[in-house]
Amino acid sequence: NAARLFLPHMQRDADARLELERGLRSALERQDFSLHFQPQVDMDGKLVGAEALLRWSHATLGQVSPATFIPVAEETGLIHAIGAWVIDRSCQHIREWRDLGVDFGGRISINISPWQIAHPHFVSHIAAQVAEAGIEPSALTLELTESALLSDFDAALNTLQQLSAIGFRLALDDFGTGYSSLAYLQKLPLDELKIDRSFIVALQANIAHPLASFVIDVGRRLGMTTIAEGVETAEQKSILRQLGCELMQGYFICRPLPAVEFRRW
């Protein structure tokens, strides 16, 4: 009892989605992905680690944003294979840099999808990966977003407790932009709280900064390290130092770099 119009843009969207999905499968087979690394430093500029950021160069689409291809990877289930690849490559880089005597800060942060956290064998798989690579779990910081906790908090908590017991460092990314309960937060075995870039952009001299200050204070009270992402100016760095933030990353320090350039940096 209705009319439906099939418009040209719907076919274009469907074609683009199919091309992305096919491209992801092909990229996994041909190892077309790469990792870029963004340095993380303390307020005195000392390197403490780096965040590994996935990059994909498609044959016809060019550089595809993770914001575009990660949702497709999650919906198709390819995120598990892609996530395993990221962990393997990160471990390889850690081992290579150590062999060459490169001071990379000692640890690499990796973004973990809610789908990976929800997988029943994720803990055993990642533990096996680092053991095979000869890397101690504490060399990896696993970053998860609040959405990883929402569907089944108890199951996510159990997974995080297992990861923490093995020795992995855990970070909550984009804290303050979602719906995390403070009651939940104090139950999680987290090592780091990451201050969302949207809070950093708003930092200006002579203006109150209740949101950024709140996140930093929560982290301090719960014994977590606070790290600001998206720091782009000396003014933002100065304000963060005054607020008591401990670590930072962003274009003010360095853009994400391919592995060779990061090593040179």
Per-residue confidence (pLDDT) for residue 216, from 0 to 100: 92
- Indicate the residue type of 74: E
Q: pLDDT class for 158, splitting at 50, 70, 90? A: very high
Residues 217-233: tens digit of each pLDDT: 989 999 999 999 999 99
Segment 35-53 mean pLDDT: 96
CB distance 55 to 47 below 8 Å = no
Distance CA 103, CA 122 (A): 29
- Record the tokens describing residue 215, joined without a space: 């996140």
Per-residue confidence (pLDDT) for residue 184, from 0 to 100: 80
Per-residue confidence (pLDDT) for residue 247, from 0 to 100: 96
Helix (H, G, I), strand (E, B) or coil at 85: helix
In this predicted structure, the answer to whether residue 17 has a pLDDT above a threshold of 90 is: no
Segment 235-264 mean pLDDT: 94
Backbone angles phi, psi at 126, to 5 degrees: -70, -35
Helix (H, G, I), strand (E, B) or coil at 229: coil
Average pLDDT over all residues of the chain: 91
Distance CA 111, CA 82 (A): 11
CB distance 41 to 246 below 8 Å = no
Segment 38-60 mean pLDDT: 94
CB distance 211 to 180 below 8 Å = no
Segment 165-190 mean pLDDT: 83
CB distance 218 to 188 below 8 Å = no
Per-residue confidence (pLDDT) for residue 174, from 0 to 100: 76
Contacts of 41 (CB under 8 A, 6+ apart): 47, 48, 247, 248, 249, 253
Q: pLDDT class for 177, splitting at 50, 70, 90? A: low
Segment 44-48 mean pLDDT: 95
In this predicted structure, the answer to whether residue 180 has a pLDDT above a threshold of 80 is: no
Which of 170-184, 208-222, 242-256 shows the lowest per-residue confidence on average (mean pLDDT)? 170-184
Per-residue confidence (pLDDT) for residue 252, from 0 to 100: 95
Burial of 170 per CB tally in 10 Å (0-12, 13-18, 19+) = buried
Per-residue confidence (pLDDT) for residue 251, from 0 to 100: 95
Distance CA 117, CA 124 (A): 12
Q: pLDDT class for 125, splitting at 50, 70, 90? A: very high
Which range of 25-34, 142-151, 198-207 scores highest in mean pLDDT? It is 25-34
